[in-house]
Amino acid sequence: MRNILKNYSLIFSSILIIGCSSNEDLNIPGKVTLISPTDNQTCESGTSTSETQTEISFSWAPSDYTENYDLKITNLNSNKIVWNSKNTTVTSTAVLDKGQPYSWSVNSRNSNVSDIISSDTWKFFIGGLGVVNYAPYPATLKTPANSSTVSRDANGKISFRWEGNDPDVGDTLIYTLYVDKIDGKQTPNSDHTDLTTNELDVVLDGATTYYWRVKTSDGKNNSYSIVRTFKTK
C-alpha cells in the first residue's frame, strides 16, 4: 500500500512540474521596448551620407532570454523592407533615403525555442531638403484583413477600417477609399472621397475578389497605402 501511495505521489509531482512550466523555464524571449527613433518622429535627421541618404541609429531596451534581435525597417511608400538581423546588442544603424516615411520594429529570438516575439511598430519621417510640410504617413489598413474571406451583412455591406497619421502636428486628414475588382487603383466612387472618418461600409457583390487601398491627404500632400485583397462570401 505504501508503494502504491509513493507511486501516486511521484506521478502527481511530475504532473505539477509539467503543469507549472513557465516562460522562464522555456526561455521564451521577452518583448522588446523601442527607444529611438521615437514614435511619429516628425523630422529624423540622422547622419547625412549623401544628398539623398542618411544613416539612422536605432536603439531599444534589452529583453529577457533574447540571444538575437532582428531589426525590421519598412519604407511606407514603397513597402520595401530592410532587415538588420542577428544583432546581439540593443543598437543598430541603417542607411535610408531622405524625405521618406518609415516604420520599424524588433523581433526577439532565442535558439532554444521557435517562438519569435515582435515589438510594437513605430513610425518616423526622415527629413528632406526644402521640405516644409510633410506628406501624411500611408494609411494602415485594418479590415478586411489581407487575403481574408469576408461575410457581407444583411444589406450586402462590408466594413472597411484603416488608421491614418501625419508627421505635421495640426494637419486635418482627408481620406479616399479605393475598392474595385481589378487592382485597387481604379477611379473611386464619389461617395468614397473626401472622407473625414477612417471607416466606411460599402455594398459589394458576393463571391467576388476585391482590391482596396486608401489615399490620405493633408490638403497639401498625399500618400497611398499598399493594396490589399480579400474575397466576399
DSSP 47-87: EE-SSSEEEEEEEE---TT-SEEEEEEEETTT--EEEEEEE
3-class SS at 26? helix
| Residue 2, pLDDT score | 53
Q: How many residues does the chain have?
A: 233
| Residue 17, pLDDT score | 42
- Spans of the chain, pLDDT less than 70: 1-25, 129-132
Residue type, 142: K
Distances (CA, A) of 104 to 38, 94, 163: 10, 11, 17
| Residue 25, pLDDT score | 57
> Radius of gyration over alpha carbons of the chain, in Å?
24
Tell me the pTM.
0.73
| 165: Cβ contacts below 8 Å, ≥ 6 apart | 40, 123, 136, 137
Bin 159: left if φ > 0, else alpha if -120 < ψ < 50, else beta: beta
Chosen CATH of 25-126 out of 3.30.310.50, 2.60.40.10, 3.30.300.30, 3.30.56.10: 2.60.40.10
**Of 94, 109, 123, nearest in space to 34 by CA:** 123
Residues of the chain with CATH 2.60.40.10: 25-126, 137-232
As assigned by CATH, the class of the 137-232 domain is mainly beta
Do 82 and 112 form a contact (C-beta atoms < 8 A)? no
C-alpha cell at 14: 511530475
| Residue 3, pLDDT score | 52
| Residue 16, pLDDT score | 42
Do 131 and 98 form a contact (C-beta atoms < 8 A)? no
